[in-house]
């Protein structure tokens, strides 16, 4: 069954979202100062950990010089590219956690504005990273879908929330060793449609090892996708800043 609604079983959150956006429209999500409309004041915006330097052309991990990192050379991912706006660290991590685990949907605007700073060059279709039915019931919304809806305003492409579904609950990736994450997510996604020849952009909040995006990209390409780009707010950076 396709899931087109972000709030499934908790429609009250979707009804509350426009009111929340209006309530926090003039206050910075970090310091409560005045904001020009993107949810963060100029000072907080300037201090965000932007990823503007050289990095891996496949996974977006920072590198001393632009190229392909050792990990992607040794084990090429199914996705073609990752575009990440920031490093996953203070204060972006707090905004993401407040949204996902605290139900603070007003942060979506700020996170989406970060995404918009580095949009993909083109897309035929925008797909939010799907949640399992259980996780969607617990959380009440899919933050990736809300981000996709907001950030898609800079892309001339539709958002399809029902193309991909997550068919089973998996252990949280953050609790697993890196080597176990690919096994954990294997076979968890199904693509419901023929997307032959299309360039698909997958939106998510955070990319760590890339295992979840890699598995979804594998399924998208099996369904005919010509290329898959990950478009994320934040990219976790390994200690020392080099790709592990």
pLDDT value of residue 76: 97
Q: 13 burial class (0-12, 13-18, 19+ CB within 10 angstroms)?
A: middle
pLDDT value of residue 176: 65
Beta strands in the chain (DSSP E): 81-87, 125-128, 164-166, 189-191, 199-207, 227-235
Beta strands in 129-241 (DSSP E): 164-166, 189-191, 199-207, 227-235
pLDDT value of residue 187: 84
pLDDT value of residue 159: 97
State pTM to two decimals: 0.85
For each of the chain's 244 residues, which pLDDT tens digit applies? 444 444 444 443 444 444 444 444 568 989 988 877 788 999 999 999 999 999 999 999 999 999 999 999 999 999 999 999 999 999 999 999 999 988 888 899 999 999 999 999 999 999 999 999 988 998 899 999 999 999 999 998 999 999 999 988 776 666 666 667 777 788 889 999 999 999 999 999 999 999 999 999 999 999 999 999 999 999 999 865 544 3
Pairing of strands 125-128, 199-207: parallel
Is 216:188 a contact under the CB 8 Å cutoff?
Answer: no
For residues 63 and 244, what is the distance between their CA atoms, to the nearest angstrom?
A: 11
Where in the chain are the domains?
Answer: 11-241
The kind and range of the H/E element at 115 are helix 107-116
For residues 223 and 22, what is the distance between their CA atoms, to the nearest angstrom?
A: 40
For residues 3 and 9, what is the distance between their CA atoms, to the nearest angstrom?
A: 11
Is 151:231 a contact under the CB 8 Å cutoff?
Answer: yes
For residues 126 and 129, what is the distance between their CA atoms, to the nearest angstrom?
A: 10
Query: Nearest 5°: phi and psi at 180?
Result: -90, -15
pLDDT value of residue 130: 96
């Amino acid at each position: 069954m396709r899931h087109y609604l972000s709030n499934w079983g908790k429609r009250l959150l979707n009804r509350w979202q426009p009111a929340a956006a209006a309530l926090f429209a003039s206050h910075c999500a970090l310091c409560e100062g005045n904001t020009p409309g993107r949810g963060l004041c100029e000072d907080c915006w300037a201090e965000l950990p932007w990823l503007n330097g050289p990095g891996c052309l496949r996974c977006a991990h920072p590198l001393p010089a632009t190229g392909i990192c050792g990990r992607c050379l040794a084990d090429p991912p199914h996705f073609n590219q990752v575009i990440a706006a920031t490093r996953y660290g203070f204060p972006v991590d707090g905004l993401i956690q407040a949204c996902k685990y605290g139900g603070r949907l007003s942060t979506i605007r700020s996170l989406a504005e970060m995404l918009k700073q580095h949009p993909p060059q083109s897309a035929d279709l925008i797909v939010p990273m799907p949640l399992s039915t259980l996780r969607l019931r617990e959380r009440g919304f899919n933050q990736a879908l809300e981000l996709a809806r907001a950030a898609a305003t800079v892309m001339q492409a539709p958002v399809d929330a029902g193309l991909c579904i997550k068919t089973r609950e998996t252990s949280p990736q953050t609790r697993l060793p890196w080597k176990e994450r690919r096994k954990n997510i294997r076979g968890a996604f199904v693509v419901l449609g023929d997307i032959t020849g299309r360039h698909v952009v997958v939106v998510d909040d955070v990319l760590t090892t890339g295992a979840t995006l890699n598995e979804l990209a594998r399924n998208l390409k099996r369904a005919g996708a010509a290329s898959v780009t990950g478009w994320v707010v934040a990219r976790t950076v390994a200690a020392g800043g080099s790709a592990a």
